[in-house]
Amino acid sequence: MTRYPRGKKGGKWTIKELDAVKAEWKGDTLNDGGGLSGEVRVNSENVSIVFRCAFKWQGKVTWHYCGTYPTRDMAAIREERDKARDLVKAGIDPRAKKVAARIEAQAGVDATIKADEQKRTEARTFNDLYTTWIKDGVNRSDGNKYITQSFGKHAIPVLGNVEARHLTENHLRDVYRAIIAAGKTATAVELSKDIGQMLRWAEKRKPWRALLIDGNPAELVDIKQLVPNDYTKERKRQLSIEEIIKLQTIFDTTAQNYADAAQKIGTERPLKKEAQIALWLCLGTICRIGELLMTEWKHVNFEQRTWFIPAANTKGERGRKCDQLVYLSDFTLDQFKQLHVLTGDSEWAFPARYKEGHVCEKTVSKQVGDRQVKFKSRTRKLKCRVENNSLVVGDEEWTPHDLRRTGATLMQKLKVSREVVNLCQNHVIGSKVDRVYLLDDYADEKREAWNKLGDRLEAILSASNVVSLKSA
């Protein structure tokens, strides 16, 4: 049914009349004149009127929707009808115009969103890149622990808020120089390698590739030009026979008389017996200190005189790590027996004191370094750490890893072949073809090599009236 204002054709509906439209009129048409008409709709007893205007396009009568009352004001609805008429006169389909306007509006929204995304992308920082890289770009055998510590201490505090697109070679040089000035040249070298790896990874991926459009700043920094002229990455420190004897003297003095030792070597809190044993085992098995400190007693077989090192505990590239079976000499077997008296009630050979599991792999290295403080460049006292020179045995600092080098060199002097020495250190040797087809594990040769080394150490530690550990 078509209805007219005040029941007469040709008039316009007033606001008062529209507000008085009844729900019973649902489906009726309200003629507003000028080709504009509205359909009465009822939703949950709320009355609304959808207006549209008729026009002829390409010989057919069609409709253009002008708005819904009371959502849209009637003046605006009639104005929309007038615009549609003008468009038709100009040869433009008002429906297409409406679609185009909607597309243009959406394009404006999209442009705004894109501009905001671009702005946020350009504002991404060195820290944002590091966070993404550490999650998706690198997976070291230590669970990225070293990288996290290194970046967190040296790189992020200085470079973290620098926008990636503004990162320059000068930023990197300043970081490296500050680390080198603090006496940590090796740390600076390793950090430069890691930052270089991160930026090379970023160069190949969005959005970082676009942010590094001016190039990779790490490629412009030659770390060799920043390190001291006398710096060498490869350590060659090994303990001489005299230094090994001196180390034994220090340990024996500590064991015989704690108070007297404190007076003689000027120390308190001497190195614990467990740590002393760990050092002798490093020397006698030429193992890595970290591998040793993760030992479980179930991997030490006293009857078969073996110590098994699982591949998970060894150092090496992913996919190339392998188990190691160490054959124990009289010397190293005795060290493990002494250790078992101290920690045999735990599943770990070196149990942690305040938590489950083994001690930190760096524990003994820190303890040894803390007792050679004369070689350090510390600018402040480290909290809860010993600082003395009770383990100084020569003119140069030594580390637990240097004992591995010392033991390997002693093997070499005992005429053990280079190949067997490398196998005793669990180094990967030979070509890929060799490793596929030459499967002998040199068990007899390795056992003999470790026995020779153990006998030599017994002889050294028994010399010059020094009581051997085994006799003690």
- Tell me what pLDDT residue 33 has: 84
Pairing of strands 2-3, 29-33: parallel
Q: Which two tokens stand for residue 188?
A: 């600076």
Contact present, 441 and 323 (Cβ < 8 Å): no
Contact present, 306 and 328 (Cβ < 8 Å): yes
Instruction: Give the CA count within 13 Å in the CB-facing half-sphere of 316.
Output: 18
Q: Which two tokens stand for residue 144?
A: 């990225």
CA–CA dist 306, 127 (Å, integer) = 47
- Tell me what pLDDT residue 464 has: 47
Domain at 126-225: CATH code: 1.10.150.130
Contact present, 150 and 239 (Cβ < 8 Å): no
- Tell me what pLDDT residue 35 has: 85
CA–CA dist 340, 274 (Å, integer) = 10
By CB atoms closer than 10 A (0-12, 13-18, 19+), residue 402 is buried
Contact present, 71 and 48 (Cβ < 8 Å): yes
- Where residue 34 falls (left for φ over 0; alpha for ψ -120 to 50; beta otherwise) is left
Contact present, 298 and 347 (Cβ < 8 Å): yes
Domain at 241-462: CATH code: 1.10.443.10
Name residues of the chain where pLDDT drops below 70: 7, 116, 118, 254-268, 317-320, 431, 436-438, 463-472
Alpha carbon distances (Å) from 392 to 235, 274, 385, 453: 18, 19, 17, 24
**Which residue matches tokens 């160490």?**
326
CA–CA dist 27, 2 (Å, integer) = 9
Beta strands per DSSP E along 228-315: 300-301, 306-309
The CATH 3.30.160.390 domain(s) of the chain lie at 2-91
- Tell me what pLDDT residue 197 has: 95
The CATH 1.10.443.10 domain(s) of the chain lie at 241-462
Pairing of strands 306-309, 300-301: antiparallel
Which SS3 state, helix, strand or coil, does residue 437 take?
helix
Q: Specify the CATH superfamily of domain 2-91.
A: Integrase, DNA-binding domain (3.30.160.390)
Q: Which two tokens stand for residue 150?
A: 């290194």
Selection from 272, 402, 286 nearest residue 338 by Cα: 272
Cβ partners under 8 Å of residue 126, min gap 6:
155, 156, 159, 160, 161, 162, 163, 164, 167
- Tell me what pLDDT residue 437 has: 66
CA–CA dist 421, 78 (Å, integer) = 97
Alpha carbon distances (Å) from 78 to 38, 69, 75, 81, 98: 11, 11, 5, 5, 16
**Which residue matches tokens 């040709």?**
10
Q: Which two tokens stand for residue 54?
A: 């008729």
CA–CA dist 370, 268 (Å, integer) = 12
CB atoms within 10 A of CB 388: 17
- Tell me what pLDDT residue 438 has: 67
- Tell me what pLDDT residue 312 has: 87
Q: Which two tokens stand for residue 177?
A: 């120089």
Contacts 24+ apart (CB under 8 A), 186-194: 186/233, 187/150, 187/154, 188/223, 188/226, 188/227, 189/223, 189/227, 189/233, 190/150, 191/150, 191/151, 191/154, 191/155, 192/218, 192/221, 192/223, 194/147, 194/150, 194/151
- Where residue 10 falls (left for φ over 0; alpha for ψ -120 to 50; beta otherwise) is left
How open is the CA angle 297-301-306, to the nearest 5 degrees?
110
